[in-house]
Amino acid sequence: MAIKDITLGQYYPSESLIHRLDPRTKIIGTLLFMVSIFLVKSFTGFALSSALLLAVILLSKIPFGYIARGLKPVLFIIILTFTMNLLMTPGEVIAKFWIISVTREGLTRSVLLGIRLVLLIFSSSILTLATKPMSLTDGLDSLLSPLRKIGFPAHEITMMMTIAIRFIPTLMDETDKIMKAQTARGADFESGSLMQRARAMIPLLIPLFVSAFRIAADLAMAMEARCYRGGDGRTRMNPMRFSKSDTAAFIILGVYFALVIFLRSRGL
């Protein structure tokens, strides 16, 4: 199934320094890194960003191939934007075949854009590979909680995200099970016209919905039985704490960000 190709949201278990960082540090760090990628306009700048990212990848002990897998679903978009920029940018022509011409500006621009997209995907992949989905939503909860003062239901939204993320694998397993059970009864999900295939989904979707509702009802009852009533005054089993490595991470990020802005102001 195609869903399995997406690395986003797939935690890679490991005991690395990056895994142990506070989720809030990782979320803020990833956001800052993404902003910095849009500030960078030169190869020197990208060399700096890539170096930082490479250091993080090495520290996280996640195999490089695992991170690169996240590129697969967006590879087409990357190639498309690369080609578009390569061929459509006006400027000094350096190569020409028939009516297609490549300009120096186009080449620079498309390569920079390619690097930018790859860095974006890699950095977000590392965040989700090195952070458990649950700590990710915990981190978001804590980061968004100041917004509660203006009436934004931060806790409710992150709780919904937590539940949604928690039940993705459960529902995937359920889908797989029902699909196999109906296949064993002769259902065919793979051949036939579009209409036939849509109809073939009924024996899969109805039991899946029934299951989803059953799971939701059970969960709601279990939460009520534990006196859940929202975010106010709720404590955590594993409270989040900033450690020395988080401070170090923020210092490195600060230095990196200052360098990026310095390079940009110098037009490099």
Partner 1 sequence: MRVEVKELDHVYNPGLAYETKALDKVSFTLGRGELVCLIGHTGSGKTTLVQHICGLLKPTSGQVLADGVDVNEKSPESRAVRKKIGLVFQYPEYQLFEETVFKDVCFGPKNMGLSEEECAKKADEALRLTGLDPEEIGGKSPFALSGGQKRRVAIAGILAMDPELLILDEPAAGLDPQGKRTILECVRSIKNERNICILLISHNMEDVAEMAERVLVMDKGRLVLDGPPGEVFAERKALRDMGLSAPPAARFMELVAAAGGPVSTSVLTLDDAAKEIIRVYGKK
- Which spans of this chain sit near partner 1 (rule: CB under 8 A)? 12-13, 174, 177-178, 180-188, 202-203, 206-207, 210-211
Least Å from the CB of residue 53 to partner 1? 22
The smaller minimum CB distance to partner 1, of residues 111 and 187, is found at: 187
Number of helices followed by number of strands (H, E) in the chain? 11, 2
The smaller minimum CB distance to partner 1, of residues 91 and 207, is found at: 207
The smaller minimum CB distance to partner 1, of residues 73 and 203, is found at: 203
Least Å from the CB of residue 178 to partner 1? 6
The smaller minimum CB distance to partner 1, of residues 99 and 184, is found at: 184
Measuring CA to CA, which residue among 10, 46, 60, 41 is closest to residue 119?
46
Least Å from the CB of residue 209 to partner 1? 9
Residues 27, 133: Cα–Cα separation, whole Å = 12
The smaller minimum CB distance to partner 1, of residues 206 and 221, is found at: 206
**Would you list the DSSP string of 133-193?**
HHHHHHHHHHHHGGGGGGT--HHHHHHHHHHHHHHHHHHHHHHHHHHHHHHHTT--SSSS-
Least Å from the CB of residue 67 to partner 1? 13
Least Å from the CB of residue 180 to partner 1? 5
Measuring CA to CA, which residue among 258, 252, 238, 254 is closest to residue 18?
252
